[in-house]
Amino acid sequence: MAEIKDVKRDNTLLSVEGLKVHFPVREGILRKKQIGVVKAVDGLDFSIRSNETFGLVGESGCGKSTTGRAILRLIESTEGSIYYKDKNLTKMTQKEMMPLRRDLQMIFQDPYASLNPRQPVIDIISDPLIAHSMISKSEKQDKVAQLMELVGLNPRFMNRFPHEFSGGQRQRIGIARSLALNAKFIVCDEPIAALDVSIQAQVINLLQDIQDKLGLTYLFIAHDLSVVRHISDRIAVMYLGKIVEITGKKELFQNPQHMYTKTLLSAVPIADPAKERKRTRIITEGEVPSPLHKPQGCAFSSRCPYAKKICREQEPELKKTSEEHWTACWEVQ
């Protein structure tokens, strides 16, 4: 909670307090008997400032995408609060949420699955505008043309279908759709993960250019630290449903404090062969525990080479360890 309180003074746009998303595990023919709970997101506290890019990184299955979807109420949270401009989204009905849907948008990971294959691009991009009664059907061609030009697509292709575009072009269509309602906050759920490496940089640069032009705020979800380092202002490292470290990108790469963060950074390739040969890789033992059966104490204690008795018995809180730096680790605290 320290992170939330300290940043309230700094133009906070969105804050998350004690967010939990648990999925019941059931068995039986009718799936009535609950035998356990998958704690996909298990108590997150962080805040995002206006016009910044907040990176959320971690291994696959750690709860990053679930967090993004819960913030936008695409899935319901089990516990906690989400504040957008001091409005508690978790207390709102779906009808009350509708006006805020214009401000809160999402760019999905898979550009092949997130677009309706039976709709031409003009309908895909204009559907949100018509649903919110922001334009008439006679105005949609001009508006779609503007949005396509903004994301680097030729408006002459607006009557084509998604299968007629490349992966990078489809993702640009998805970006244009997220911008249609003049969004203020966008969850970017691994928007380049499904794209060729040669296209990834183009999409990242496009997102940054649009952010500068429109004053957007991003929650950028990714597992590639080199990408997050390029686009983010601050970064949160997530492991097994928990945030273990939050700080600025420069501080994270120069002074990582949590052992899991150090492990991730040691796996990032270095372009200089001489430096690559000299550095020491940190290899963790064991597999990532199941979110259905989390270890007691620190979630990373079963794989951390420096884990002590207290690490295996008590869960560390996310506490401020230096200026703009929060860490959940007994070794640091």
Instruction: State residue 6's pLDDT score.
Output: 46
Do 301 and 259 touch, CB atoms closer than 8 A? no
Distance CA 88, CA 82 (A): 6
> Looking at residue 249, what is its pLDDT?
93
Residues 102, 20: Cα–Cα separation, whole Å: 25
Q: What is the pLDDT of residue 10?
A: 64
Q: How many CB atoms lie within 10 A of CB 43?
A: 17
And the tokens for 226?
């080199």
pLDDT attached to residue 8: 46
How much is the pLDDT for 21? 96
Q: What is the pLDDT of residue 86?
A: 86
Query: How many other C-beta atoms can be found within 10 angstroms of the C-beta atom of residue 229?
Result: 17
Q: How many degrees, rounded to 5, is the angle at CA 263 between CA 258 and CA 269?
A: 135
pLDDT in tens, the chain (333 residues): 444 444 444 689 999 999 999 999 988 888 888 888 999 999 999 999 999 999 999 988 899 999 999 999 999 999 999 999 989 999 999 999 999 999 999 999 998 899 999 999 999 999 999 988 888 878 889 999 999 999 999 999 999 999 999 999 999 999 999 999 999 999 999 999 888 888 999 999 999 999 999 999 999 999 888 889 999 999 999 999 999 999 999 999 999 999 999 999 888 777 777 777 777 777 777 778 888 888 889 999 989 888 899 999 999 999 999 888 999 999 887
Tokens read off for 101: 């849907």
Which fold is adopted by the domain 2-103+184-259? Rossmann fold (3.40.50)
**pLDDT, tens only, 113-151:** 999 999 999 999 999 999 888 888 788 899 999 999 999
- Greatest distance between any 2 Cα atoms in the chain: 68
Residue ranges covered by each domain of the chain = 2-103+184-259
Question: Could you tell me if 174 and 209 are in contact, meaning their C-beta atoms sit under 8 angstroms apart?
Answer: no
